[in-house]
Structure 1
Amino acid sequence: MKNSLKYLSLFLLFALPLSFFTACSEDEELVKTKEKTEEETEPTDTGIDSETLMVNNFIEDTMSIYYFWNEEMPDINPEKQEDSEEYFNQLLKSPDDRWSFITDDYEALINYFSGIQKSTGYSLMPMYLNATSNQVIAFIEYVHRDTPAEEAGLKRGDMIYKIDGEIIDDQNYSDLLSRDIFEATLGELDANNEITEVSTVNIEAIETNLHPVIESTVIDTLGQKIGYLAYSSFVANYDTALVNAFSEFKNAGVTDLIFDLRYNGGGAVSTATLLGDMIVPPGNSGNTFIERVFNNFLTNEFKRDPTFSTDDLKIKFEENGFNLGLDKLYVLTTASTASASEMIIYGLEPYMDVIQIGTTTHGKYYASTTFSDQKNHNWAIQPIILRSINATNSIDYSKGLDPDHELSDYFYLFPYQLGDPRELFMAKAISVITGEPFIYEDEMSGLKSANIRLEQAQKFKKNLYPKRSRMWVEPSELLKLKK
């Protein structure tokens, strides 16, 4: 491991400088910083320019120590790699690692993790018009508050079938649906699966804060007070909004909680921990929510510290004044439910009955953190550095979490708004909670045999939103390894 001891001293979680995750240490003995000169961009005797070599060395030094699969990385000479992004991707363990990534825009990455994005403010599910057509239609899954989409009057269930007057298909969907300024043509499907134009709206994506609490409400039905929370991303900047929602649930005396994570690709582990504290049944303070497993090199280095304890690797529940005092949790899931969203399910399962309604989740049980060297370049890498296990170590890492009640997300056929008791998943959850018949049972029987190419729709969505399915560990969490 080239320079491993040098760089380990930057990271050691027992004396970790917080600045490392936003910029490399300024210690001259550990990181030799240089004034950038014109000569630095000139080709070196290795055949690549000095700046590329600097980035490549940063990648190698960091990955060789912190990458979860560091012992399985191929032996590639960084001095011969002209493309830093390609070099980084070649180091990743395939097919296990589908999540580590590199960027040449550190500031944009940090904004993304803070919930700041250039966005229209809606989430789309592109799908084929029918079983044989190559035409694609895009349904709105949800709309964030205070965004261009909300201002344009768009809502869940609206269908976009043209962008700038051009019909969407499986070749142009990514380009058309990713535009920043455009005219969207909305349509409706008739009984013959023909599209009728409804209206057009002009939209411009802006840099905005995307509030992850999409909907929060309490439903009083059949003697049950059911709290409902639709949540799109685990963003620590909005933890106060989560606490406020749980405060309202507690004051309302909710008897059941439906946590809608269908469209949530993960986020900050610290926020998942906060949620765990507010959901886990009382009396579990001090019990393990999640245990973190690092690579052998780091683990052995931790053990060399005489004050190290295996408890340092565990995230434990803490008492929370907004805990709801429930013994069951109802979670709504799809294949888009990933990372921190899955952590809520498997982290709480040893302590309460977690009833999962929907489809199998994404299957990501790993977390990353940000490494950068802002003094020398604007590149940053986000490698997987740890695996999460629950208190009973009962996770099958080869697949996602399977539902207790299987239900596909046919929201475009039942276009009620999130939190409405008539919305498909909400109706199913209410049925499971109350024991009353599922109001769409007959319709579901007919849909199960229909070929609507939902698997391909998930591929469209993944291509449209490549940054989703991420879970990251914040520096403050790693610092907690040293009590």
Structure 2
Amino acid sequence: MKACVYSSVALAVTISLLAGCGGGGSSNTPPVVTTPTTPVKPDPEWERGVYEPQSQFIAKCETPRSGIDPFTGSAYPDTQGTAMDEKLWLRSWTNDTYLWYDEVDDNDPENFSVLAYFDQLKTNELTPSGTPKDNFHFSQDTAEYNELSQSGISSGFGFSWEFGSTTVPRELTVRFTEPGSPAASANVPRGAKVVSINGVDFVNDNTQQGVDTINDGLFPDDAGTTTSFEFELVDGTTLTADITSDDISVTPVQNVKVLNTDNGKVGYFQFNSFIVTAQEGLIDAFDTFVEENVTELVMDLRYNGGGRLALASQLSYMVAGPNQTNNATFETLRFNDKNPTTNPVTGQSISPTPFYSTVIDYNEGLLTNTLLPSLSLTRVYVISTDATCSASEAVMNALRGIDVEVVQIGSTTCGKPYGFYPTDNCGETYFTIQFQGVNNKGFGDYADGFMPTATPNFDFELPGCEVEDDFTTSLGEPEEGMLAATLEYAATGSCPVVVTGNGIADVKTLRSDQSALVGETLIPIDTPNTRRDNFVLQNKINQPIIQERK
């Protein structure tokens, strides 16, 4: 409306000026007609230290979406805006909700693209060990994120990769393949190392053209893309396979087994991600363990980067049972010091998350009345690596908070007692640390990870053994190095005298080989993180949202 009024006034002024032009007499020159224009709204401006409300900028997009959001059934909220609107929303949102908002540099957004601006909206402080405090700051295309988080489907080959070195001499090893995936159909086993991709020497090629070919082959943009792989297997033989990418359905719970040992029946399962589709697999696994009367449980979380906290709470209940979890807190969320009692994202009062004892309808976000199976164990064994993160660590911390002994076999976890509410704006979903979780005893200080040790002295040190990942044997086999060490500890209460992990990258040798290339620029290949690969990034997501059915 204001633009219309402005245009009318401008036209009237123009006509008035034309009528008053010239002296006496007539002229054959036709009058000049000026077409009025609507003024362009200037970009909002950044002012250091001044934070306007989020609502002033949210959903004002440089490229608005139109139509209906298939995941909500509602129209997209986007309106026409600018890149500066998007950046200033990120700035105000960060200042309101980021756990360490007062450690974020207030840089001029004009100097960054939208995503580059978000990337630097985080703390630069370090943990006590000297590592960055915030290693979990990322964003992802909203449509891709919704697809995986709701259905467990992503595009790719079905490999889970272990990146030993991304620069020459490179090392990339197959951790496992998703059941039914193209990688599994090609019979690529655990421990296979990539030798070449589409004819390019994967280990030694250091040209930009070669690296581009490797990246395109490893991370195809679309399903239906064929890549030629050559692998070296554990026994020294080679395997060549042309593998075509497809939409991969993630199977988060795998290798559910009951192992008969001298000490009784031991339940084992490999658990890769706390996504919605995991609930059914976990229930089936624990139904089996209850039916078989297992007396010990091994949770293989070595590659589980996290997911939904509600699922983590359910899993913890299934381990500990009703008596140990009764009236106890699974986790309490602590937000920044601006919000001591109120959740700044939901606006609700902060209340502890209980141990969820029933099935959850994740479509509706509601608890049901169907009771979960449980083992009521007082001890559990967790296999871990530095890829064990977030919700996986929350399970370990929560169980220790109710005095369930957690024995850790493997290596130090990633150290993420933090979480976030994935937030969409203009088609990009942003993940920024917004809370820290503490257990029933108020402990949540494990930013450098949980560490296995024979003599625990601190709350972040757990009884157990340091064991390297063993790529020479399939996961779930009693002979596999980490599981073998777990079974020996369960039988004897002590760690194996010698534990070797064959088939993994020799980091010292790799660094030595790389140091010999002084003067040559080493070109790294992409990793799932740099490619924003949703198959892996979903594993970083902590989502505590759930409602009770009234």
TM-score, structure 2 as length reference: 0.69
Aligned pair partner of 2:262 in 196, 204, 222: 222
Aligned pair partner of 2:397 in 343, 346, 370: 346
Contact 2:274 2:311 (C-alpha < 8 Å) held by counterparts: yes
Contact 2:266 2:296 (C-alpha < 8 Å) held by counterparts: yes
Structure number with the higher helix fraction is 1
Shift of 1:316: 3.9
What SS does the corresponding residue of 1:88 show, helix, strand or coil?
helix
How many Å separate the matches in 2 of 1:301 and 1:293? 9
Q: Tell me whether 231-240 or 396-405 shows the greater mean CA deviation.
A: 396-405
**Structure 2 CA distance for partners of 1:342 and 1:90, relative to 1, 3 Å:** same
Q: Which one has a bigger Cα radius of gyration?
A: 2
How many Å separate the matches in 2 of 1:461 and 1:420? 32
Shift of 1:442: 4.6
Contact 2:469 2:501 (C-alpha < 8 Å) held by counterparts: no
**Structure 2 CA distance for partners of 1:453 and 1:352, relative to 1, 3 Å:** farther
**Structure 2 CA distance for partners of 1:178 and 1:248, relative to 1, 3 Å:** same
Question: RMSD of the alignment, in Å?
Answer: 3.9
Q: Percent identity over the alignment?
A: 22
How many Å separate the matches in 2 of 1:188 and 1:302? 51
Partner of 2:418: 366
Partner of 1:315: 354
What SS does the corresponding residue of 1:226 show, helix, strand or coil?
strand
Contact 1:121 1:148 (C-alpha < 8 Å) held by counterparts: yes
Structure 2 unaligned segments of length 5 or more: list them.
Answer: 1-49, 60-67, 125-131, 359-370, 453-462, 513-523, 531-535
How many Å separate the matches in 2 of 1:207 and 1:329? 35
Contact 2:470 2:503 (C-alpha < 8 Å) held by counterparts: no
Partner of 2:380: 329
Partner of 1:233: 273
**Structure 2 CA distance for partners of 1:292 and 1:184, relative to 1, 3 Å:** same
Counterpart residue type for residue 169 of structure 2:
Q
Q: Tell me whether 323-332 or 82-91 shows the greater mean CA deviation.
A: 82-91
What SS does the corresponding residue of 1:322 show, helix, strand or coil?
coil
Contact 1:359 1:407 (C-alpha < 8 Å) held by counterparts: yes
Aligned pair partner of 2:490 in 433, 436, 444: 433
Q: Render the CA deviation track for 1:269-317: whole Å, top value 9, x for unaligned.
A: 11111101111244122201111011222335569x9995x6x144345
Structure 1 unaligned segments of length 5 or more: list them.
Answer: 11-18, 37-49, 191-195
Aligned pair partner of 1:136 in 170, 175, 191: 170
Counterpart residue type for residue 277 of structure 1:
Y
Number of positions where the alignment pairs a residue of Structure 1 with one of Structure 2: 431
Contact 1:124 1:461 (C-alpha < 8 Å) held by counterparts: no
Aligned pair partner of 1:93 in 123, 127, 130: 123
**Does the alignment pair 1:186 with 2:231?**
yes
Shift of 1:9: 13
Shift of 1:82: 4.7
How many Å separate the matches in 2 of 1:152 and 1:306? 50
Partner of 2:335: 294
How many Å separate the matches in 2 of 1:244 and 1:461? 39
How many Å separate the matches in 1 of 2:319 and 2:274? 15
Contact 2:320 2:377 (C-alpha < 8 Å) held by counterparts: yes
Shift of 1:147: 0.8
**Structure 2 CA distance for partners of 1:447 and 1:383, relative to 1, 3 Å:** closer
Alignment map for 1:58-77 (pairs within 5 Å): 58-77=89-108
Alignment map for 1:79-478 (pairs within 5 Å): 80-94=110-124, 95-103=132-140, 105-114=141-150, 115-127=152-164, 134-169=168-203, 171=206, 172=211, 177-179=218-220, 181-188=226-233, 196-283=236-323, 284-301=325-342, 308=349, 312-318=351-357, 320-350=371-401, 351-373=403-425, 377-403=426-452, 404-412=463-471, 415-435=472-492, 441-442=497-498, 444=500, 463-465=527-529, 467-468=536-537, 470-474=540-544, 476-477=545-546
Shift of 1:6: 4.9
Contact 1:111 1:117 (C-alpha < 8 Å) held by counterparts: yes
